[in-house]
């Protein structure tokens, strides 16, 4: 398969087809005569930023529950919950690689839940998902920053200077993706960029921490 052609053809493991709307109600629009509903590209990119924080909190919780490290690897996604078309691809919200097989041995329920969570896709415009544009840059970012919030304390009165700085640094790194003047299809990231700016304040950072802690517990 060519690197920039990411239409699903069946090589990945099939995960349960779920909306995974626990963090936000997904905005989907019917496509005439196609039998599918799509997520607007702007909403898809925003959700990729927002749900990444949810993922990192959940990974931390699983590590504490099981004693395992490196719950997921970087690299290409290995599961996918539905098939796409040439125009509207089934696009991963989260881009991580294989899940640590030891998790399946320790807790099969957690393994399956995480498999479904990271395998979740949204139908969206193919050009918002391809490797050479904004979709590919977010893929690389998510794969490269899995340890970006390591060390955050989610218990008790955990929110402090270190937690604030780590979340702030993550938001800053996300916003830097849009500083590249040659980034293709950057227009689909306007809502996501505004979201990072909104949360890069004392109130916004604390709100984001509380959101993550709710996913950790």
Q: How many residues can be counted in the chain?
A: 217
Q: What is the DSSP string of 66-96?
A: H--S--B-SSS--EESS---SSEEEEESS--
42 or 156, which is more confident? Answer: 42
Helices (H), the chain: 41-66, 101-106, 108-119, 134-144, 161-176, 190-199, 202-216
Q: pLDDT, tens digit, for every residue of 98-121? A: 999 999 999 999 999 999 999 999
What are the CA-CA distances from residue 73 to residues 4, 80, 98, 115, 158 (Å)? Answer: 22, 16, 6, 13, 27
pLDDT above 70: percentage of residues in the chain: 78
Sequence ranges of the domains in the chain: 13-216
What phi-psi label fits residue 100: left (phi over 0), alpha (psi between -120 and 50 degrees) or beta?
beta
β pairing state of 79-80 and 13-14? parallel
Contacts of 14 (CB under 8 A, 6+ apart): 79, 80, 81
β pairing state of 79-80 and 88-92? unpaired
Spatial distance between the Cα atoms of 102 and 68, rounded to a whole number of angstroms? 8
Residue 3 pLDDT > 60: no
Contacts of 105 (CB under 8 A, 6+ apart): none
* Mean pLDDT confidence for 9-31: 43
pTM: 0.82
Spatial distance between the Cα atoms of 196 and 48, rounded to a whole number of angstroms? 12
Q: pLDDT, tens digit, for every residue of 185-209? A: 999 999 999 999 999 999 999 999 9
Bridge partners of 124, per DSSP, are: 89
Q: Taking all residues of the chain, what is their mean pLDDT, rounded to a whole number?
A: 84
């Amino acid at each position: 398969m060519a690197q920039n052609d990411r239409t699903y053809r069946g090589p990945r493991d099939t995960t349960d087809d779920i909306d995974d709307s626990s963090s936000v109600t997904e905005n989907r629009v019917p496509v005439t005569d196609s039998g599918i509903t799509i997520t607007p590209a702007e909403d898809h990119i925003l959700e990729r930023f927002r749900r990444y924080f949810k993922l990192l909190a959940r990974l931390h919780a699983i590590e504490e529950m099981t004693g395992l490290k490196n719950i997921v690897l970087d690299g290409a996604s290995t599961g996918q919950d539905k098939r796409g078309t040439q125009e509207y691809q089934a696009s991963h919200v989260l881009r991580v690689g294989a899940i640590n097989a030891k998790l399946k041995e320790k807790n099969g329920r957690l393994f399956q839940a995480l498999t479904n969570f990271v395998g979740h896709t949204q139908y969206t415009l193919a050009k918002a998902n391809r490797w050479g544009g904004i979709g590919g840059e977010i893929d690389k970012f998510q794969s490269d920053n899995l340890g970006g919030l390591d060390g955050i304390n989610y218990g008790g009165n955990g929110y402090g200077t270190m937690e604030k700085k780590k979340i702030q640094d993550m938001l800053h790194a996300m916003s830097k993706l849009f500083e590249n003047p040659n980034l293709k299809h950057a227009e689909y990231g306007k809502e996501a960029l505004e979201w990072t700016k909104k949360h890069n304040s004392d109130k916004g950072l604390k709100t984001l921490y509380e959101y993550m802690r709710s996913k950790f517990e």
